[in-house]
């Protein structure tokens, strides 16, 4: 549900930008045929049964098959077995209302949400799954000072916090002339398709990590199911 809301938030930003510039929306996520899958649409449905029908039968299948043409993408692979588990319409409308009140534009808030989700998983801690604090991740990334043509791998990526932090670092990085380095020829394609690699053995972590990277503008990260320690 958090992912569905965030996708719609990103689409609304694109639409406002396109309106200001008087041009079509660039790479739209939603079309006229799946507008019912948008958070901004179904959150306003007052009838709980109707909201359940729309989310279960339209929004969730759309999100599950997002990027359907790219069947080999990490997101598509890890979402293929996902199930919609909210069975009670009253619970769904309560969840939607609560999530809608969360300020998702706040980066720290998103980090706290992922940390909370991780703490609630039955395997958290048991399998050594602990989220690295944001300030530690930021410090390590700044010490590494990655450039736009590197290939990066996190062998125990979890929710992909390290990879996301690198993406945010590069999205703000400029060259000596003040131009964003990702706008240089070839850099954006490398950023989207070749730069980011992550391994984890937990299916839930793979889904969350893939979602997290997609939300941060990385089109096709290489997130794979692998136990890195077993390779030693």
**Torsion sign (Cα): 195, 200, 203, 205:** negative
Q: Report in angstroms the alpha-carbon separations of 59 from 15, 42, 81, 122, 170.
A: 20, 9, 16, 27, 32
226 and 129 both lie in a single domain: yes
95 and 164 both lie in a single domain: no
72 and 131 both lie in a single domain: no
Domain-located, residue 118: no
Domain-located, residue 117: no
Predicted local confidence at residue 151, as pLDDT: 95
11 and 85 both lie in a single domain: yes
Using the 3D structure, point to which of 65, 100, 135 is the last residue of a domain. Answer: 100
Phi, psi at 44, each rounded to 5°? -90, 0
HSE-CB for 207 with a 13 A CA cutoff: 17
Domain-located, residue 105: no
Domain-located, residue 73: yes
User: What whole-number distance in Å separates Cα of residue 211 and Cα of residue 4?
Assistant: 10
CATH (domain of 174) = 3.40.50.150
79 and 153 both lie in a single domain: no
Using the 3D structure, point to which of 42, 65, 100 is the last residue of a domain. Answer: 100
133 and 92 both lie in a single domain: no
For the whole model, what pTM was predicted? 0.68
For every one of its 232 residues, what pLDDT tens digit does the chain have, with 9 covering 90 and above? 777 887 888 888 888 888 888 888 877 888 888 888 899 999 999 999 999 999 999 988 888 777 554 445 666 666 777 778 888 999 999 989 988 887 766 555 555 665 566 555 545 555 556 667 788 999 999 999 999 999 999 998 888 889 999 999 999 999 989 999 999 999 989 998 899 999 998 888 888 888 888 777 787 888 888 888 776 5
Domain-located, residue 213: yes
Query: Which ranges of the chain does DSSP label H, i.e. alpha helix?
Result: 2-21, 39-42, 48-54, 60-64, 74-79, 89-100, 107-120, 134-144, 161-172, 187-193, 203-215
137 and 88 both lie in a single domain: no
Domain that residue 72 falls in:
2-100
Tokens describing residue 207 = 């889904």
86 and 130 both lie in a single domain: no
Predicted local confidence at residue 122, as pLDDT: 46
Domain-located, residue 165: yes
87 and 133 both lie in a single domain: no
186 and 155 both lie in a single domain: yes
């Amino acid at each position: 549900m958090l992912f569905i809301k965030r996708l719609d938030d990103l689409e609304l930003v694109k639409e406002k930008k396109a309106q200001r510039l008087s041009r079509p929306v660039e790479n739209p996520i939603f079309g006229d045929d799946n507008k019912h899958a948008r958070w901004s649409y179904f959150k306003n449905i007052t009838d709980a049964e109707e909201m359940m029908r729309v989310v279960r039968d339209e929004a969730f299948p759309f999100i599950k098959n997002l990027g359907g043409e790219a069947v080999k993408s990490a997101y598509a692979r890890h979402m293929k077995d996902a199930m919609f588990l909210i069975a009670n319409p009253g619970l769904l409308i309560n969840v939607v209302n609560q999530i809608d009140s969360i300020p998702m534009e706040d980066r720290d808030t998103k980090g706290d949400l992922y940390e909370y989700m991780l703490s609630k998983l039955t395997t958290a801690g048991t399998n050594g799954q602990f989220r690295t604090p944001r300030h530690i991740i930021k410090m390590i990334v700044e010490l590494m000072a990655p450039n736009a043509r590197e290939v990066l791998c996190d062998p125990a990526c979890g929710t992909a916090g390290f990879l996301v932090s690198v993406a945010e670092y590069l999205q703000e990085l400029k060259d000596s002339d003040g131009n964003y380095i990702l706008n240089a020829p070839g850099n954006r394609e490398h950023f989207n398709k070749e730069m980011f690699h992550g391994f984890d053995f937990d299916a839930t972590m793979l889904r969350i990590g893939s979602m997290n990277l997609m939300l941060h503008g990385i089109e096709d990260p290489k997130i794979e199911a692998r136990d890195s320690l077993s390779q030693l």
